[in-house]
Amino acid sequence: MLAAAVTAWCWIPAGVLGALSVLGLWDILQRRHSVLRNYPVLGHLRFLLEGIRPELQQYFIERNYDGRPFDRDVRSLVYQRSKGTDAEEPFGTDRDVYAEGYEFLVPSMTPRPVPDKPPMVRVGGPDCTRPYEMALLNVPAMSFGALSTNAIVALNQGAARGGFAHDTGEGGLSEYHLRHGGDLIWEIGTGYFGCRTEDGGFDERQFADKAAHGHVTCVALKLSQGAKPGIGGVLPGSKVNAEIAGVRGVPAGRTVISPPYHRVFDTPRELVLFLARMRELAGGKPTGFKLCLTSRRQFLAVCKAMLAEDVTPDFIVVDGAEGGTGAAPPEFADHLGTPLTEGLTTVHSALVGTGLRDRIRIGASGKIATGTDIVKRLIQGADYTNAARAMMFAVGCIQAQRCHTNTCPVGVATQDPRRARALDVEDKSERVRRFQEATVRSAVQIMASMGVTDPADLRPHMLRRRVDATTVLSGAEMYDLLAPGELLADPPRTWAEDWAAADPDRFTV
């Protein structure tokens, strides 16, 4: 109107402004792209850059993305799978197959037909009365607080539709976890959020009440996570709104720091007995613990305690140093903790060597995002896997790495309701389901190419690694694996000292 009143030339800027307004309105109303809902018009720059990436690769994008936690190819694959546009690649691999560290899986001359249904894993040892069928890929612990309400709801709805498990994380069991009926693993950490006494201890009654909920299928005790072993969770005060404070049982607005250690146990034996108590309180549901491996000796001490008490957890989740977090000091994220390969092979081997492996299922997490990752971890000793950041990509994370600032641009890791509303639950939950399904299908296809339909038939020699220009080693040669019961009968030289020193009544490093 102003344009008409002033001069005809003003129609040009008026037209541009009008078009941008229409585009902005469209961006806010559409549901597929959270970044556009939060940043109408401007958000298109991101897609523009993505579109011309090949030309800018060397100069710009590569510097910004490739050094980050997940490389561009993996993220793109997760996005494609979650959107249902999983494409084949032309022209062959762009990996350097002669580079040191290159890993490959060994195909068979007699590939098997791909099974119609992916295998599931029964979790539940001899003391568990309500075993759970676990999928090969699940949503691991990410608490309400680190993630937004909409992200939690979308993950849970995805899990419900796809028939896989969703771990609550240590931030308590909220109504967002329960809304869609996805199978839950309720995790408690050193803060005992959701079952916490006033002075921060473990409240048995609250725990039993909540663990009895029909959607809670397993319960887990978090000892540590790979991104920050040895320090408790940190939830910045800016994220602790009244609702989160209510779920956790803490004051609103104040940074919540979980203590680095548990009050409920001091020794390996006490740990094992506490797990037994948790299972009892949870009405016999599968009970386990999660850790980033510390020393082999400490883990063997826990095995000795299990043997001495004849009590085993139903599952152990091994998290690698490469695993993700909402917030951690960089020194911890970069330099503390055992990487997944060493953690997993050690835990698996220790359980085999002590004759306990049949009673305990092992889960693995740490940068798992593809079918190859799943198969590789199964070969190294896992029974099932979890993917945290890959699931975040599926709900729209763009790896902006603002999780700790409450300003996540796509509403995934924020408690700002305006930002969180950009995440469309219906669209993103379907992406979570599709990503999990396509990734598990890929793992099953890979196994079939290797001549395997049952993951139990995978063997360490099926994974190979180039260690220099002319040498390739197999998993059987690289990992210090034990035969069933070997530690009890005749510990090999490489394990004997740790085995002898492991004390079920003391954690020695």
Ligand X SMILES: Cc1cc2nc3c(=O)[nH]c(=O)nc-3n(C[C@H](O)[C@H](O)[C@H](O)COP(=O)(O)O)c2cc1C
Chain positions contacting ligand X, by CB under 6 A: 140-143, 146-147, 169-171, 187, 222, 225, 233, 290, 319, 323-326, 365-368, 387-389, 403, 413
Q: How far is the CB of 503 from ligand X (least distance, A)?
A: 26
d(CA 189, CA 208): 16
d(CA 255, CA 239): 8
d(CA 207, CA 196): 8
Q: How far is the CB of 370 from ligand X (least distance, A)?
A: 12
Q: Which two tokens stand for residue 407?
A: 């300003």
Q: How far is the CB of 325 from ligand X (least distance, A)?
A: 5
Given the complex with ligand X, which of 187 and 424 has the nearer CB atom? 187
Q: How far is the CB of 385 from ligand X (least distance, A)?
A: 9
| Secondary structure (DSSP) of 364-415 | EESS--SHHHHHHHHHTT-SEEE-SHHHHHHTT------GGGT--TTSSS--
On whether the CB atoms of residues 362 and 348 are closer than 8 A, the answer is yes
Given the complex with ligand X, which of 187 and 427 has the nearer CB atom? 187
Q: How far is the CB of 452 from ligand X (least distance, A)?
A: 24
Given the complex with ligand X, which of 435 and 499 has the nearer CB atom? 435
Given the complex with ligand X, which of 367 and 431 has the nearer CB atom? 367
d(CA 244, CA 248): 6
Given the complex with ligand X, which of 320 and 504 has the nearer CB atom? 320
Helix axes 149-162, 425-449, angle to 10 degrees: 50
**Residues 404-415: b if buried by 16+ CB within 10 A, e if exposed:** bebebbbbbbbb
Given the complex with ligand X, which of 275 and 368 has the nearer CB atom? 368
Q: How far is the CB of 433 from ligand X (least distance, A)?
A: 18
End-to-end CA distance of the chain: 77
Q: At 275, which amino acid appears?
A: L
- Among candidates 155, 87, 179, which has minimal Cα distance to 433? 155
d(CA 479, CA 345): 7
Given the complex with ligand X, which of 147 and 311 has the nearer CB atom? 147
Largest interatomic CA distance in the chain: 96
Given the complex with ligand X, which of 143 and 442 has the nearer CB atom? 143
Q: How far is the CB of 137 from ligand X (least distance, A)?
A: 10
Rounded to 5 degrees, what are φ and ψ at 361?
A: -95, 145
On whether the CB atoms of residues 264 and 190 are closer than 8 A, the answer is no
Q: How far is the CB of 436 from ligand X (least distance, A)?
A: 13
Given the complex with ligand X, which of 121 and 387 has the nearer CB atom? 387
Given the complex with ligand X, which of 356 and 388 has the nearer CB atom? 388
Helix axes 72-83, 425-449, angle to 10 degrees: 110
Q: How far is the CB of 222 from ligand X (least distance, A)?
A: 4
- Among candidates 316, 306, 302, which has minimal Cα distance to 220? 316
Given the complex with ligand X, which of 147 and 301 has the nearer CB atom? 147
Q: How far is the CB of 340 from ligand X (least distance, A)?
A: 9
Given the complex with ligand X, which of 147 and 272 has the nearer CB atom? 147
On whether the CB atoms of residues 196 and 203 are closer than 8 A, the answer is yes
Query: In the complex, which residue's CB is closest to ligand X?
Result: 324
Q: How far is the CB of 451 from ligand X (least distance, A)?
A: 28
SS3 for 228-289 is: CCCCCCEECHHHCCHHHHHHHCCCCCCCEECCCCCCCCCCHHHHHHHHHHHHHHCCCCCEEE
Sign of CA dihedral 272, 274, 280, 284: negative
Q: How far is the CB of 171 from ligand X (least distance, A)?
A: 6
Write the burial class of residue 509 (CB in 10 Å: 0-12 exposed, 13-18 middle, 19+ buried). Answer: exposed
